């Protein structure tokens, strides 16, 4: 079976089943530091499941992916959320799946995130590892650290060929992206 996915624009509504879009757009800031700093408060919540877990901040360096790209696996983190924030000023792709134990291509959703959008995957959300596009890119990652194995992987059967492209789906004026 052959499947091809093209990205949809990343919007908070379209991404809500999988996590949060972390962006300033549409948010009202709180003025702090003697009215010198805008604080965009509580854009996403870090989810931690187990006692003794902590939230850690990492930098992941992603290599660019050649397009079209074949998708072979997805992963999820059952004990905590995972948040990615681009540092390199580049757009990137996000591949997520609906909550199923046995994934199929029909469960997959592909989004194009702009350079000013971060994302926060809800715990247990199936997603593909980072999909950088044009060059080596750094991401600030907020992740769970604690006991237990917090990464599950799902591999598609070899007879299932899923390709993603970088071409973005377009929508007519007034049409919803999802």
Confidence of residue 20 (pLDDT cuts 50, 70, 90): very high
Cα end-to-end span (Å), the chain: 24
CA dist., res. 108 & res. 152, Å (int): 17
Q: Which of 14-23, 117-126, 143-152 has the lowest mean pLDDT?
A: 143-152
pLDDT tens profile 130-169? 999 999 999 999 999 988 889 999 999 887 888 888 765 5
| Strand duo 152-155 + 54-62: pairing | unpaired
> Binning pLDDT at 50, 70 and 90, where does residue 177 land?
very low
By the 8 A CB rule, do 97 and 103 touch? yes
Instruction: Choose the most confident range, by mean pLDDT, from 26-40, 41-55, 105-119, 152-166.
Output: 105-119
**Confidence (pTM):** 0.84
Judging by DSSP bridges, how do beta strands 108-113 and 8-9 pair with one another? parallel
Residue range 2-164 forms a domain whose CATH class is mainly beta
State the DSSP code for 68. Answer: S
How confident is the model at residue 95, as a pLDDT? 96
Name the percent of the chain lying above pLDDT 90. 60
What is the reported pLDDT for 110?
Answer: 94
> Residue 97, Cα to own-chain centre: how many angstroms?
11
């Amino acid at each position: 079976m052959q499947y091809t996915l093209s990205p949809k624009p990343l919007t908070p509504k379209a991404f809500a089943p999988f996590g949060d879009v972390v962006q300033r757009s549409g948010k009202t800031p709180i003025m702090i530091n003697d009215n010198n700093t805008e604080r965009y408060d509580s854009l996403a919540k870090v989810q931690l499941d187990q006692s003794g877990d902590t939230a850690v901040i990492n930098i992941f360096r992603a290599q660019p992916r050649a397009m079209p790209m074949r998708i072979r696996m997805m992963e999820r983190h059952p004990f905590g959320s995972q948040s990615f924030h681009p540092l390199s000023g580049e757009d990137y792709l996000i591949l997520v799946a609906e909550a199923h134990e046995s994934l199929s291509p029909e469960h997959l959703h592909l989004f194009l995130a702009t350079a000013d959008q971060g994302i926060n995957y809800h715990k247990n959300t199936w997603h593909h590892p980072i999909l950088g596009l044009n060059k080596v890119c750094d991401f600030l990652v907020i992740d769970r650290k604690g006991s237990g194995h917090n990464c599950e992987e799902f591999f598609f059967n070899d007879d299932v060929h899923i390709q993603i492209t970088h071409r973005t789906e377009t929508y007519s004026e007034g049409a919803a992206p999802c």
